[in-house]
Chains A and B, each alone.
With several copies, the nearest count.
Chain A
Amino acid sequence: MEKNKIKKIIESLIFSSISPVSSREIKNFFSDEEITIKLIENLILELQEKYMNSGVNLKKVSTGYRFQVSEDCNEWVSNFYPEKPQKYSRALMETLALIIYKQPITRTEIEAVRGVGVSSNIIKTLLEREWIKILGYKDVPGKPAIFGTTKEFLNSHNLVSLNQLPKLDDIVELSDQEKRQLGIFESNTEKTENDDKIKNEYNQENIH
Chain B
Amino acid sequence: MDIKSSEVKNVVDIDVPLAYVKGKPYLNIPKDLYLPPDALEIVLESFEGPLDLLLYLIKSQNLDILELPIAKITDQYIQYIDLMQDLKLELAAEYMLMAATLAEIKSKLLLPTIDEDTSEEEDPRAELIRRLQEYERYKKASIRLDDLPRVDRDFYLTRKVSYQKIQKEEDYERVDLEKLVIVFHKLMQQTKFLTPHDVKKEHLSVREKMTFILNSLKKDNYLDFKNILDITEGKSGLIVSFLAVLELIKLSLIDCVQANYESSIFIKLK
Contact = CB atoms under 8 A, between A and B. Distances in A.
Most chain A beta carbons < 10 A, residue from B130, B140, B177, B200: B177
A193 B215 CA distance: 40
B214 interface: yes
A208 B214 CA distance: 21
A111 to B, nearest CB: 9
Contacts of A207: 204
Contacts of B259: none
B181 A165 contact: yes
Nearest to B144: A166
Contacts of B148: 157, 159, 165
A136 B204 contact: no
A181 B131 CA distance: 17
A71 interface: yes
Contacts of A136: 214, 217, 253, 269
A172 B151 contact: no
Contact of A16 (B126, B163, B217): B163
Contacts of B172: 86, 129, 156
Most chain A beta carbons < 10 A, residue from B133, B157, B208: B157
B145 A85 contact: no
Given A136-B214, A157-B150, A75 B208 contact: no
A169 B178 CA distance: 10
A78 B165 contact: yes
A167 B141 CA distance: 8
Nearest to A129: B172
Nearest to A156: B151
B20 interface: no
Q: How large is the interface on B (under 10, 10 to 19, 20 to 34, 35 or more residues)?
A: 35 or more
Given A101-B141, A136-B269, A166-B144, A56 B188 contact: no
Interface string A41-69: 00000000000000010000000001111
A76 to B, nearest CB: 9
Interface in B179-216: 179-185, 187-191, 193-194, 196, 199-200, 202-205, 207-208, 210-211, 214-215
Contacts of B163: 12, 16, 68-69, 73-74, 77-78
Contact of A201 (B66, B194, B214): B194
A202 B190 CA distance: 14
A25 interface: no
B252 A139 contact: yes
15 contacts: A16-B160, A16-B162, A67-B157, A93-B146, A94-B184, A101-B204, A103-B211, A104-B248, A113-B134, A115-B52, A140-B252, A159-B148, A182-B182, A202-B199, A208-B203
Given A135-B211, A188-B130, 17 more contacts: A16-B157, A66-B158, A69-B161, A75-B166, A85-B173, A97-B181, A115-B50, A136-B253, A140-B252, A157-B149, A163-B204, A165-B180, A169-B141, A170-B178, A171-B182, A182-B126, A184-B130
